[in-house]
Amino acid sequence: MYCGLSILLLVSRAFASPKPLPIGLEIREELDSSLANIHVSYARPVARSHLFTYGPCQSNHANDAHHQITKSSDSEADRLVWLIPDDATSDGCLSAWTDDGNVLLGRSEPLKFRKELNGSWGSQRKRGIDMTNSSGIDASGPWFDGVDALRGKNPVPLRVKEIKEKKIAVLGAGMAGLMTYLNIRDSGFANVELIEASGRLGGRVRTEYLEGGPFDYQYQEMGPMRFPQRIQYAGTNETLEINDHKIVFQLADVLNELNRHDPEKKVLFHPWYQSSPNGLYYYNGIRKPDGTVPTVTEVENDPSLSIPTVADPVLDEATEKINAIMEDKEFLGEMAKNIYRAHKAFIDTGLNNLGGEDWSQFAYMHNYLGYSLNITDQTIGSAGADSFWNNLFENFYFSATEWVTIDGGLSRLPAAFGPIVEKDTKFNREIEKLEYFPEEGGKVKLSWKGNGTYSAYETGMYDYAVVSVPFSVVRRWRLPQFSPTLKSAVNNLDYASACKVALQFSTRFWEHLPQPIFGSCSTTTDIPGIGNVCYPSYNINGTGPGVILASYVPGDWGHRWISMPEEEHVEYVLNAMAEIHGDVVREQYTGKYTRKCWDLDRYTSGSWAHPTIGQHKLFIPSYFQTENNVVFVGEHTSYTHAWISSALESGVRGSVQLLLELGLIDEAKAVNRRWMARWINV
């Protein structure tokens, strides 16, 4: 009897389900690039070292695999970084083995790769965060790819919970810092500090309210003002969507959702009038017979109201050659679709296959094409010292025929971050020093003025820092431990300067002229130091007071005006407005004004990055490297400058860069997919 029972037990064991393998392996994100995370789970501890491979699902030994992924002896690690070779094919399985490769410890389901038809990752890999050459970045390239960088770092198995408990500092609460914070927070990090030197959010986004609140409409923008949307070609039905700026509208949607559409925080857009046929044209003191200043349309129709010119066939020829580059519809279309890839194309093949960014317009016109100094100056003027790329993307944006702005002022965009960042923001903490301590586990030490003085410092230690502060301010930090190229970028990157003066009037008199002006920055003049005059695009035909941006002048005058006391500067601008518009200016000026010269702002020391010839090519590779656990973001690290979209794009890139540095491929792809699939890849 007992013998029969033993036989039955043996038979039942033979037909019982095999014991589950101790290691679970799965992929949770689509395999659309050559970077992936493998999620690992342990049903029970594995006492010995073990290895992970990819290969046939029926393999009986690790040697049968296509390639080995990594080794581990940590049964608490829950994720691996997988650098997928280009020749890996679909329908294989991930496997875990004892370190001798003899015993199978775990196996995934068969996997599918989403590759190009030719079998390589191709553009799909680019979509998954692209970096190529041996320096870690294709400096001219369309986007950022961490594959090569991670390949050289031999990633170790990850304990994700511990990683997401790391202390991270985001320095600067401008748009780049705010975007970076949002992405890191949404990736599951709970220990993030947003450190801001001033007492406000927004950085160079700055709406000045001369009285009342946002919807009293007594404000002007002292920083960014508007967003280009589309270019409609005259006489055709052809319209170009400007894709890279769409990140601003997407961010507004995200913030509105996070704030549950609270009316006090909601970000809404309305049209911006960039141009007006009734803008005034005041040059050489020329006026109409009745003594008033002519409009743009009147000057176009009556040459006697404009500055006399002499026909010059050589000047016409030179102008045509510049316009052929600056107004190339085919290339403008490429910029509209994907300005980052257009940048690479221009660097590689622009200017008669000579390359583009390293050429100034002056060098191209005078040195290469051989035009005289006078013709060169008349053709390109002050733009001659800039790189072709800088002038090209600015010309492209300002070719837009449809624009929008934010109702109530652009400061409502950073203000919408307020409830989101409130608990993690440290205001009035002006960083004076950043140091790296490898002997303390690779910690970043930040020092700031204790009690607001230089006599004592307070300090904090962080695992990583993301720096969005302009390099014009970072120069004080010295950064002795960083690479020579990065230090050179910090110390030498050029910044533009600009001053703005806004004046309030008791009525919106400009909208009640015989030829009314509704919005726009179309009034121009040669009165020194005035630049553009911009009328408000909001509250059109409203009653009560209104505010004009009476002077917006970048460049050399942005430096010059800071030597003049504010009261004298404002009086000069008021006199210029009276010279252009007449007695109504003095009759209706309320005495309320605001002036902003960005060189005087200790937290920016300049208006926006304005790289000189070659600085993109030289410095961008260093921005895309993580040095000493520090990542650099900000509009100065983007391929375009001076726009909110540039700052936001850099925040996306910096977030992805940090997540890749930590091995969090899934989170990096989620950020990439959230912010780019809709606006960079078309």
- Look at residue 453 in the predicted model and tell me its pLDDT: 67
**What are the φ/ψ torsions at residue 134 (nearest 5 degrees)?**
-65, -20
* CA distances, 128 to each of 425, 665, 667 (Å): 31, 9, 11
Q: Is the pLDDT of residue 14 over 50?
A: no
* Alpha-carbon span 562 to 596, nearest angstrom: 10
- Look at residue 4 in the predicted model and tell me its pLDDT: 46
The DSSP symbol for 87 reads T
Q: Under a CB-based contact definition with an 8 Å cutoff, are residues 240 and 230 in contact? A: yes
Structure-token match 């083995």, residue found: 97
Q: Which residue has the higher pLDDT, 96 or 6?
A: 96
Q: Is the pLDDT of residue 154 over 80?
A: no
SS3 call for 70: strand
* Closest by Cα among 595, 610, 600 to 643: 610
Tens digits of residue pLDDT in 210-263: 999 999 999 999 999 999 999 988 777 789 999 999 999 999 999 999 999 999
Give the count of beta carbons closer than 10 Å to the beta carbon of residue 20.
Answer: 10
Interior angle at CA 173, CA 171 and CA 178, nearest 5? 100
Angular region, 527: left φ>0, alpha ψ -120 to 50, beta rest: beta
Average pLDDT, integer, range 585-598:
98
* Alpha-carbon span 58 to 65, nearest angstrom: 10
SS3 call for 425: strand
- Look at residue 146 in the predicted model and tell me its pLDDT: 58
The dihedral sign for the CA sequence 424, 425, 426, 431: positive
Q: Which residue has the higher pLDDT, 632 or 678?
A: 632
Band of the pLDDT at 620, cuts 50, 70, 90?
A: confident
Q: Under a CB-based contact definition with an 8 Å cutoff, are residues 95 and 59 in contact? A: yes
What's the 3-state SS for 635-663? HHHCCCCCCHHHHHHHHHHHHHHHHHHCC
- The CATH class for the domain spanning 280-309+498-605 reads alpha beta
Question: 375 Cβ partners below 8 Å, 6+ apart?
Answer: 312, 314, 315, 318, 365
* Alpha-carbon span 289 to 291, nearest angstrom: 5
* Alpha-carbon span 539 to 638, nearest angstrom: 34
What residues does each domain of the chain span? 23-125, 280-309+498-605, 310-399
Pairing mode of beta strands 192-195, 425-426: parallel
Tens digits of residue pLDDT in 371-412: 999 999 999 887 767 888 888 999 999 999 999 999 999 999
Q: What is the CA radius of gyration of the chain?
A: 30
* Alpha-carbon span 132 to 148, nearest angstrom: 6
What is the length of the chain? 682
Average pLDDT, integer, range 503-516:
97
Q: Which residue has the higher pLDDT, 381 or 585?
A: 585
Q: Is the pLDDT of residue 595 over 60?
A: yes
- Look at residue 564 in the predicted model and tell me its pLDDT: 95
Question: Which stretches of 511-565 are DSSP H helices?
Answer: 556-560
* Alpha-carbon span 200 to 220, nearest angstrom: 18
Q: How distant is the alpha carbon of residue 517 from its chain centre?
A: 33
* Alpha-carbon span 502 to 497, nearest angstrom: 17
Structure-token match 């505010």, residue found: 547
* Alpha-carbon span 632 to 467, nearest angstrom: 5
Band of the pLDDT at 48, cuts 50, 70, 90?
A: confident
| Structural element, H or E, at residue 434 | strand 431-437
Average pLDDT, integer, range 310-332:
91
Q: Under a CB-based contact definition with an 8 Å cutoff, are residues 124 and 42 in contact? A: no
Question: 524 Cβ partners below 8 Å, 6+ apart?
Answer: 279, 280, 281, 282, 283, 531, 532, 533
- Look at residue 13 in the predicted model and tell me its pLDDT: 43
Average pLDDT, integer, range 184-205:
97
Q: Which residue has the higher pLDDT, 444 or 19?
A: 444
Tokens of 525: 């003049």
Tens digits of residue pLDDT in 551-560: 999 999 999 9
- Look at residue 340 in the predicted model and tell me its pLDDT: 81
Share of the chain above pLDDT 90, in %: 70
Give the count of beta carbons closer than 10 Å to the beta carbon of residue 49.
Answer: 12
* Alpha-carbon span 552 to 534, nearest angstrom: 8
- Look at residue 356 in the predicted model and tell me its pLDDT: 73
Q: Is the pLDDT of residue 134 over 50?
A: no
Question: 165 Cβ partners below 8 Å, 6+ apart?
Answer: 190, 191
Band of the pLDDT at 506, cuts 50, 70, 90?
A: very high
Amino acid at 6: S
Band of the pLDDT at 148, cuts 50, 70, 90?
A: low
Q: Under a CB-based contact definition with an 8 Å cutoff, are residues 596 and 222 in contact? A: yes
Band of the pLDDT at 10, cuts 50, 70, 90?
A: very low
Structure-token match 């590759």, residue found: 115
* Closest by Cα among 23, 111, 36 to 72: 23
Question: 619 Cβ partners below 8 Å, 6+ apart?
Answer: 485, 486, 488, 489, 493, 611
Pairing mode of beta strands 546-554, 239-241: unpaired
Q: Is the pLDDT of residue 3 over 60?
A: no
Sheet holding 227-232, edge to edge: 239-241, 227-232, 402-406, 269-272
Q: Which residue has the higher pLDDT, 20 or 153?
A: 20
- Look at residue 78 in the predicted model and tell me its pLDDT: 96
The CATH code for residues 23-125 is 2.60.40.2840
Question: 659 Cβ partners below 8 Å, 6+ apart?
Answer: 184, 187, 665, 667, 668, 671
- Look at residue 639 in the predicted model and tell me its pLDDT: 87
Between the CA atoms of 394, 397, 403 and 407, what dihedral angle is there, to the nearest 10 degrees?
-50
* CA distances, 543 to each of 509, 518, 538, 539, 540 (Å): 10, 14, 12, 8, 9
Question: 283 Cβ partners below 8 Å, 6+ apart?
Answer: 306, 307, 524, 525, 526
Question: 259 Cβ partners below 8 Å, 6+ apart?
Answer: 265, 266, 416, 419, 420
Question: 638 Cβ partners below 8 Å, 6+ apart?
Answer: 646, 647, 649, 650, 653
Interior angle at CA 292, CA 291 and CA 293, nearest 5? 125
